[in-house]
Amino acid sequence: MTSDASQPAPSAVISDDKLTAQLLIPPGYDRAMLTENLLESIIRDAGVEVTDYTKQALANLVQDPPPQDQAATVDIACGQPVVNGTDGKLQWLVDQDDPEQDAPAQDAQNTSYYDHSSFVMVHTGDEIGRVHPPTPGQDGRDVTGGTISAKDGKDVTILIDESIMRRADGLLIAQDDGVLHRETGKAQVRKKIEIQEYVDFSTGNIEFDGDIEVCRGVRDCFVVNASGNIKVLGLIEAAIIEAGNDLIAAGGFAGRERGHAKIGGSLRGKYLDNVQGNVEENLVIDREVINCELTINGSIDSPHGSIIGGRITSTGAVSIGTLGSGAGVVTELVIGSVPKLQPFASELEVMVETFTTEVDKLTAEQDLINKMSVKGRMTATDRERQTEIMFDLSMASARLDKALRTLDSVRKEISKRRRVDISVHRKINPGTTFILDDRCFKITEELKGPARIFFDDRGNPVCRQGESQACPLAQITEVKAIIPEKKAA
């Protein structure tokens, strides 16, 4: 049976992506006419590349043609898909919540939410990240024999400064201690933490080798510890603040008897309320210092402010607006002290007492043995003990002499640093007490300013109001002796 010339002939169709080609056999077409040469000619005319796959497909079609009365579609060519390269990847190795990092299991009951930190602290030499390189693309091939060009992956774009080193293998190494700061396409290790909101459960406690700046405030019970400066623009609540250098409490510090400050430099602030602590240098306050217990190893500068209640120990000069309050709140100022050296002097005094007792005891035993020697009653054991005592006494005497010389040196330094210089610009209220050595000088009547309390040429505390003649501080105060506490047996 011959095919009707009016019947459509077989044709080849290429897909839009040129990755596949099919041969269409219309119904009614004489299957006896299907030869490999004819079909190969048809697909060549359509632009399909003849490959071994194509030849095998045509051979199979000729050998096993579809039914005469049915249309047939036969796959005759298959291209090679393109494989585009993958982009480079930046992987951080220091994120606490990075799912790719294995983290040791922690007992939830032992985890403090205060200790959680949202900042990534790094140290010099830490491996903080890795830049994975992009992969090249693999070109494809379509059914016409043409090449489909692949796209290579793009490299990671990251700007870093000298605080991070990028090795040839892509590893990122911290070049300094600090906090890892990251923005889109940028990274650096900074020596300063900037907190835009509060120090609270969103940040956790903060301990940092550098400077810290808090734009809002510090919530109750949180700890902020910096080796450098700390600056808080908002309110510090009942928190613990430790700074190696200065603290700026621009919004004030409301400690509520739980707030504590340990400042290696100066403390400058709006006000302090119920704060305990130590300031190695100066205290500069705009308004009030209320019910605080502080040791200031420098000066106090608050000419428009007040000290009300509490106990303040100051080594340097004090410039204050008002001391105490009209309600007679007990306000204590410890003056003429050197708190950095006096504890050391007290320890030396205890050592001197101990060494003196030891020397006295050995001396008494030596005298007893010497008396026995005069009377001719010494035994071999006594002679051996006499030698031991001579050695022990020599060592004890050397320790006592060294302790005495050190104590004398410390006392001289205390005497040199010892200073009383208090300037009160407005008034001193009743209830204000100046503690000097073993005496308390209590103000019983309001004392108008300007007034100055200082040592006279003989080292006695005196007070001068305005341009008047200075008078002994004891003359205008109630003086009481301080009875030292008995040492526990």
Q: Please check whether residues 137 and 42 belong to one and the same domain.
A: no
306 within some domain = no
SS3 226: strand
User: Looking at residue 32, what is its pLDDT?
Assistant: 84
158 with 179, same domain? yes
pLDDT in tens, the chain (489 residues): 444 556 688 999 999 999 999 999 998 888 888 888 988 899 999 999 999 999 999 999 889 888 888 888 999 999 999 999 999 999 999 875 443 444 333 444 444 556 556 688 888 999 999 999 999 999 999 999 999 999 999 998 899 999 999 999 999 999 988 889 888 889 999 889 999 999 999 888 999 889 999 999 999 999 999 999 999 999 999 999 999 999 999 999 999 989 999 999 999 999 999 999 999 999 999 999 999 999 999 999 999 999 999 999 998 899 999 999 989 899 999 988 887 788 888 899 999 999 999 999 989 888 887 777 766 666 777 778 888 888 888 898 999 999 999 999 988 887 777 788 999 999 999 999 999 988 999 999 999 989 999 998 888 899 999 888 999 999 999 999 877 665 444
Beta strand ranges found along 133-250 (DSSP E): 140-141, 147-148, 159-160, 164-166, 171-174, 178-183, 186-190, 192-195, 206-208, 211-214, 223-226, 230-232, 240-243, 247-249
Q: Are residues 216 and 250 in the same domain?
A: yes
In the 8-state DSSP scheme, what is residue 110? Answer: G
Of 227, 222, 189, the C-alpha closest to 208 is 227
| Alpha-carbon distances, residue 47 vs 13, 40, 100, 139, 208 (angstroms) | 10, 11, 50, 20, 70
Same domain, 199 and 287: yes
pLDDT computed for residue 430 by the predictor:
95
Number of domains in the chain: 4
Kindly state whether residue 481 falls inside one of the protein's structural domains: no
Contact 446, 480 (CB under 8 A): no
Tokens representing residue 480 in the block: 């009481």
Last-in-domain residue among 156, 190, 224:
190
Residue 447 lies in a domain: no
H/E stretch holding 30: none
- For residues 214 and 291, state if they share a domain: yes
Residue 446 CB: number of other CB atoms within 10 A? 12
Residues 213 and 288 in one domain: yes
Strands 127-132 and 89-92: antiparallel
Distance CA 369, CA 385 (A): 9
- Residue 393 in any domain: the answer is yes
3-state secondary structure of 473: helix
* Angstrom distance (rounded) from CA 129 to CA 122: 11
Residues 179 and 223 in one domain: no
Contact of 324 with 343, CB cutoff 8 Å: no
293 and 360 belong to one structural domain? no
DSSP 229: -
Same domain, 288 and 199: yes
d(CA 399, CA 409): 15
Boundary-marking domain end, from 417, 451, 466: 417
Q: Rounded to an integer, what distance in angstroms lies between the CA atom of residue 401 and that of residue 73?
A: 114
What kind and span of H or E run contains 23? strand 20-25
Q: How many CB atoms lie within 10 A of CB 476?
A: 18
308 near 324, Cβ under 8 Å? yes
Q: Are 309 and 274 in contact (CB under 8 A)?
A: no
Which of these three, 233, 264, 298, is where a domain ends? 298
Residue 95 lies in a domain: yes
Residue matched to tokens 């040469």: 37
Opening angle at CA 16, ends 14 and 17, nearest 5: 100
Tokens 């050695």 sit at which residue? 391
Within a domain: 2: no
Distance from C-alpha of 394 to C-alpha of 125, rounded to nearest angstrom: 53
Q: Based on the domain organization, do 163 and 217 belong to the same domain?
A: no
Tell me how far apart the alpha carbons of residues 282 and 296 are, in angstroms, rounded to a whole number. Answer: 7
For residues 180 and 198, state if they share a domain. no
CA atoms of 43 and 24, how far apart (whole Å):
10
CB-based contact 43:50 (threshold 8 Å): yes
Distance CA(233)–CA(283), nearest Å, equals 17
Within-domain flag for 258: yes
Q: Is the pTM of this model over 0.75?
A: no
Task: Tell me which residue range forms the domain holding 18.
Answer: 11-78
Q: Is residue 284 part of a domain?
A: yes
How much is the pLDDT for 106? 41
Statement to judge: residues 62 and 147 lie in one domain: no
Q: Residue 452's beta-bridge partner residues?
A: 423, 464
